[in-house]
Structure 1
Amino acid sequence: MTAQRQERNVSRSGYGFRPGIALIGFLAVLASLAALAGFSSAAGAQTTERVIVNRYTGLAIEGYDPVAYFADARAALGRPEFEASEAGAVWRFRNESNRASFVAHPEIYGPQFGGYDPMDIARGVTYAGNPRLWLIVGQRLYLFGREEHRDAFAADPARRLREAKERWPALEQELAR
């Protein structure tokens, strides 16, 4: 750009402001914010705990009653007056009977793999399961991060469990750090 054209651009906008450059800068800021938003939502879904716990409330499986999956065949929120602590997490229940069942047998009623999606475990990664996407297979509760994962798991649970169980010890050890 010649010195004359540069001076003309400065005189039109006052301080050398060029709309094209400003737009590019603005778009770069938006792209950065979008990338950060995408990163933070993924980071919020992943966790570094052996049992998935909401970092703000301390609740396991977002406050859903783990026994209700078995007793009522549905995902149901627990109540604050019926809580128990197990594996470093606070678990909520719909009633005292569900609480007592869980306290007696947390290994049965608690979600397998700490609430992580078993399809992701089989791939060697830990991704939080959603308490509203679940299956009971072999009298054990499994939570899934996506519907497609639940459907694929249901199609061949023996194979998927074998794959997840092979990877789980190393992943669990990594989570313990």
Structure 2
Amino acid sequence: MRPGIALIGALVGMLAGTWLACSGLPALAATTERIVVNRFSGVAIEGFDPVAYFVDGGAEQGTAEFEANLLGAVWRFRNEGNRAEFLAHPEIYGPQFGGYDPVDIARSVTVAGNPRFFVISAQRLYLFSREDNRAAFAANPERFLYEVGKRWPALQDKLSQ
């Protein structure tokens, strides 16, 4: 076998091995948007209606019929009233920290929250990546919000606009 071909084969093998070794790791660094959106559709929080958490008390799917483009994301709503309320007060109804999990932010990492795991605290919506994070936050939101306050500005600067 020629030395040049052997070198190329070795490099390809090394790269494939590195990819396989890393493919099972969570892709924390892959989340680079200021608001958690579907990278293909641009829809925020998996199409759930952010106002419904407050009005209906739970995670309710919005529809394409009632969409709004705001803050670089497409938001979906269950009805025109929810859409209008969100557009009037996105700072109240939008998920805090762009939909990233505040428990993970307190650990200095940005992990997208799951719209099914949520807490409304002090009239603000928080999304969590896991049920344990939701439970920990619900037990002591002040503790986590204190830590998030120290870490979020630096993490947010690393997210693209």
Interval of TM-score (by shorter of Structure 1 and Structure 2) = 0.7 to 0.9
Describe the superposition over 1:29-71 as per-residue Cα deviations: whole angstroms up to 9, x where unpaired: xx878645424xx228951010011001110001000000000
Give matches, 1:1-177, under 5 Å.
Answer: 35=21, 37-39=23-25, 42-43=26-27, 46-176=30-160
How many equivalent residue pairs?
146
Q: Contact 1:45–1:128 (CA<8 Å) still a contact in 2? A: no
Does the residue aligned with 2:119 lie in a helix, a strand or coil?
strand
What runs of 5+ residues in structure 2 fail to find an aligned partner?
Answer: 1-16
Please give the alpha-carbon distance, in whole angstroms, between the structure 1 residues aligned to 2:23 and 2:36: 21
Describe the superposition over 1:56-100 as per-residue Cα deviations: whole angstroms up to 9, x where unpaired: 111000100000000000101100000001110000000000000
Does the residue aligned with 1:176 lie in a helix, a strand or coil?
coil
Please give the alpha-carbon distance, in whole angstroms, between the structure 2 residues aligned to 1:90 and 1:135: 22
**Aligned CA-pair RMSD:** 1.9
Q: Contact 1:46–1:127 (CA<8 Å) still a contact in 2? A: no
Please give the alpha-carbon distance, in whole angstroms, between the structure 2 residues aligned to 1:174 and 1:94: 33
TM, length-normalised to structure 1 = 0.77
**Partner of 1:4 in structure 2?**
none
Please give the alpha-carbon distance, in whole angstroms, between the structure 2 residues aligned to 1:122 and 1:44: 14
Describe the superposition over 1:143-176 as per-residue Cα deviations: whole angstroms up to 9, x where unpaired: 0001110011011111111111111111111113
Counterpart amino acid of 2:34? R
Q: Contact 2:48–2:115 (CA<8 Å) still a contact in 1? A: yes
Percent sequence identity over aligned pairs: 63
TM, length-normalised to structure 2 = 0.84
Counterpart amino acid of 1:140? R
**Rg comparison, structure with higher value:** 1
Please give the alpha-carbon distance, in whole angstroms, between the structure 2 residues aligned to 1:135 and 1:37: 31
Counterpart amino acid of 1:173? D
- Say if 1:92 and 1:147 are closer, same or farther in 2 by CA, change over 3 A: same
Counterpart amino acid of 2:24? G
By percentage of residues, which structure has more helix?
A: 1
**Partner of 1:15 in structure 2?**
none
Q: Contact 2:33–2:159 (CA<8 Å) still a contact in 1? A: yes
Does the residue aligned with 2:104 lie in a helix, a strand or coil?
helix
